[in-house]
Structure 1
Amino acid sequence: MKADAVRGHLDGLLLAVLEPGPLHGYAIIAAVQQRSGGALELRTGTIYPALNRMERLGLLSSSWQATGERRRRCYELTDAGRRNLADARTAWSEFTTAIGAVLNPAGPAGAAL
């Protein structure tokens, strides 16, 4: 799938994979890829700026967690992030309904509107 297909929807995708609980960056990438059946492959250079921006906006919070000798920054939704995710889901539903109505019109082929 083209990278442009994700543009404008990245925040919603990241919020959705964080909904069940905190994840670190690579786990977020893996979750998006797994949920999309491999169709979406995000790069670290794409998600980290988005995660940092969403944290500045108050949609996410983060904390450092130790994993053996390594430390990872884990991100989780805030209440504002949960509200933003609900809004993103509503907007996505409205968008896909409108596009679907144009691409797959109901009624007999060739019928005048």
Structure 2
Amino acid sequence: MNYNEQAKQLADAKAEYAWLAAAPAHVLQQALMDLDRACREHGAFRVKWRSARGWSPSFRFPAGNKITVEQLGRRWGRVKLPKLGWVRFRWSRAPGGTIRSATISRDGRQWYVSFL
């Protein structure tokens, strides 16, 4: 099983399940690429799967050219993410340079965005 086979299966699954089609395609493809890389580096049966208890969900938007960041005020900004739209966040510091990707992660009850 490699990325190409899984990408074909993902296309079939998106046609069958509406909730999967609603998710951004870039995020799903990036998750498959990460899984393929982990299986190639460690072997399919030696990949360390996270437990549900100690796992905090996160997902990455790899298309930096489709991400728009605006500062709304001194403390707040907003980012436009594909299929999610505008998401408001607390502005801690200005992103320097060009944005290559954005990672959304959760810690406890709070969601965080970080830019690369």
User: What TM-score does the superposition give when structure 2 sets the normalisation length?
Assistant: 0.28
Which structure's CA Rg is the greater one?
1
Higher relative contact order (CA closer than 8 Å, sequence separation 6+): 1
Q: Write 1 or 2 for the structure with the bigger share of helix.
A: 1
Q: Write 1 or 2 for the structure with the bigger share of strand.
A: 2
User: What TM-score does the superposition give when structure 1 sets the normalisation length?
Assistant: 0.29
